[in-house]
Amino acid sequence: MSRFALVVTLKLKPGSTEKFIPLIMENQASSLANEEGCRNFIVMKNQEQEDTFHFYEEYDNLDAFKLHQNSDHFKTYFDAAKDLMVERIWHRCEVVE
């Protein structure tokens, strides 16, 4: 089974960046520390578009990603961050090796 990756672009409501950063960084840290199937989780802040972020997440497989979505730390993150979001664009990818 191929590794699964997710590339996300997330646009926030204007002025939400300072509230958002601690939420996503806690989700990132918990994912990497507690999810055996999470191989990589990179958070990037767009330098050209204010209040816009990109994530690169890599998992052993799709099942590992589904476990991530059902984890307590993800649910806590999403419940706290969802009202800050304007748009989420997901690209589901297969890692080519």
Short-list 87, 88, 77, 92, CA closest to 22: 77
The pLDDT assigned to 89 comes to 97
The pLDDT assigned to 97 comes to 83
The pLDDT assigned to 25 comes to 98
Residue whose token pair is 């589904």:
66
Confidence of residue 22 (pLDDT cuts 50, 70, 90): very high
pTM: predicted TM-score of the whole model, two decimal places: 0.92
Decide if domain 4-94 falls under CATH 3.10.450.710.
no
Task: Report pLDDT digits (tens) over 50-60.
Answer: 999 999 999 99
The pLDDT assigned to 2 comes to 83
Residue 1 has pLDDT above 80, yes or no: no
What are the structural domain ranges in the chain? 4-94
Q: Are 73 and 33 in contact (CB under 8 A)?
A: no
Euclidean distance between the first and the last CA atom of the chain, given in angstroms as a whole number: 12
Task: Report pLDDT digits (tens) over 36-89.
Answer: 999 999 999 999 999 999 999 999 999 999 999 999 999 999 999 999 999 999
